[in-house]
Amino acid sequence: MNKVDKITAKEILDRVYELDKKEQYDRAIDEVFEYGFSFGELEEDEEIKFIESLIKEVNIEQLSITVILSFLVCSLRYHNIIPYRQKFFNMVKDEIIKREGPGRVKDLLKGLEGEKSKKAMSATKIIESLIIKGNNILN
């Protein structure tokens, strides 16, 4: 049994909402990364379904921009496999415009749309390697 078998997307999201509400953003992001990067604990198709369920169920209006971006990071490697991810990306983009104005969109979403750019893939690999090594990149 792996960690994802023990918890549902709704349970993860409830914890993320609670931590975000308490302004414990680093812990909320840790929750997203803990379950959004299963690293071999699931078969790839199960992982894809799980990540898709997370981004379909998340209510971005309840979360800070920083925490919302963590969902884009954990789903980046499947941007071309999960059809809903592009819609989610566009929803996040609209939410950033609503809260921060159009000037912040480019900076906040750089490399997260899912282009096959070396920069986007490098950022994901760095984050994945830090998580695999057990390092908390936010503390």
Domain boundaries, the chain: 3-132
Compare 37 and 33 and report the one with higher pLDDT: 33
Instruction: Give the single-character DSSP code of 42.
Output: S
Question: What pLDDT is recorded for position 40?
Answer: 55
pLDDT given for residue 105 in this prediction: 92
CB 67 within 8 A of CB 25: yes
pLDDT of 117 higher than 50: no
Q: What is the DSSP letter of 63?
A: S
- pLDDT digits over 44-96, tens only? 788 888 899 999 999 999 999 999 999 999 899 889 999 899 999 999 999 99
Supply the mean pLDDT for the chain: 81
Report whether pLDDT(113) > 80. yes
Full-model pTM:
0.76
- Residue 122's identity, in one-letter code, is S
Percent of the chain at pLDDT above 90?
53
- How confident is the model over 107-114, as a mean pLDDT? 89
Whose CA is closest to 52, among 65, 71, 29, 34? 71
Greater model confidence, 101 or 130: 101
pLDDT band at 136 (very low <50, low <70, confident <90, very high): very low
